[in-house]
Amino acid sequence: MATIRKRENENFVSYEVQVRKKGHGVLTKTFRNRQDAEKWGRITEAEMDRGVFVNRSEAENTTLAETLDMYLKEVTPTKKGADREASRIQRWKTQPIAKRAMASIRGKDIASFRDSERKRGLAENTIRLDIALLSVVFETARKEWGMESLTNPCKAIKLPSGSKQRERRLLVDEEQYLIKGIKECCRNHFVIPIVKFALETAMRQSEILNLEWRHIDLKKSVALLEDTKNGERRRVPLSPKALEVLEALPRDINSGNVFKMTQDGLIRAFRRACVQGRGLYLTEIQKEPPAGFLEDLRFHDLRHESTSRFFETGKLDIMEIASITGHKTLQMLKRYTHLKAEDLAKKLA
């Protein structure tokens, strides 16, 4: 039988319940009224008798913020995108539900977060990734940190859809004025080589910035990528233009990175160059640029552009292109390959 003790202080009365059962030790919980205390005691003892009891104390006494801190310390450092995930965790810790116990968080709380982020104008994919991270945190706490009683509230709601597949290709003269914009507003001399190299190799931004001289064989025209998004090593053939870019670069005696630039610096420089290039077009041509000219252009679109150009040359088949770009499936490769309809029409003609 559960033992109930009445506790009084100046502000309120509470009832402490203790359940003692062989094999379970002593379980204690406090309630504001006696009826709730008695109910919890009966249910807990009945579950113990049936052998289905799961200790909820860990989930009830640990806040979401504390769990996020544990995840940040133990799990996040093992991931490739640790910095980005750490930023998401810090954003979650600013949310009101971070102060609540893990066991108290329900699907409606996650749905409220989703809807409020939409009202703020955040992209659907950003919201989806934030909720996906929280879902992993709940699953880790449930499976590995003694919170077996938890249910994952993220699985109880309709998740935002992912971002629409981008089909952004470079418009006529965009590459030319992007380069002009870089010359006008970027002090770092590696920005132009990085952009040209990206268009020649279809490498990802991180792959380019992490590339080291020791991984490049200029005689064989090959670059070895040790650290890729999918975790597999990849050998990328270098075109004559890509080799020209590399041969024009200064090379440290002690080797090191090929391109001396940070990811944040490259992103900011690319954005400034797009604005500057659009302005230069207006000044030189003396008319409004085409719709979307150097607008909504991201560095990753260069990978998309480069991959599409591989197809348009007609010199490589799809498997050869996949080996260059590192896409694991042809379906994944198709997402980046949107050939220009007018060029296909010329081939058909």
Residue positions annotated with a catalytic role: 204, 229, 300, 303, 327, 336
Q: Which of 199, 203, 183 minimizes the C-alpha distance to 191?
A: 183
Strand partners, 16: 5, 30
Residue 166's nearest CA partner among 51, 78, 41, 296 is 296
Distance CA 242, CA 310 (A): 14
- Report in angstroms the alpha-carbon separations of 195 from 74, 127, 209, 301, 331: 37, 30, 11, 11, 26
158-175: b (≥16 Cβ within 10 Å) or e = eebeeeeeeeeebbebbb
Report the alpha-carbon distance of residue 168 to residue 295 in Å, rounded. 10
CA dist., res. 213 & res. 208, Å (int): 11
d(CA 70, CA 92): 13
Nearest residue to 199 (alpha-carbon basis) of 238, 155, 233, 164: 238
DSSP secondary structure letter of residue 77: G
Tokens for 185?
């507003």
Q: Are 143 and 54 in contact (CB under 8 A)?
A: no
Cβ pair 15, 4 in contact under 8 A:
yes
Count of beta carbons in the 10 Å neighbourhood of residue 201:
25
Length of the chain: 349
Tokens of 251: 């090379």
Helix 64-74 with 82-93: angle, nearest 10 deg: 170
Q: Which two tokens stand for residue 73?
A: 């310390």
Tokens of 342: 């007018």
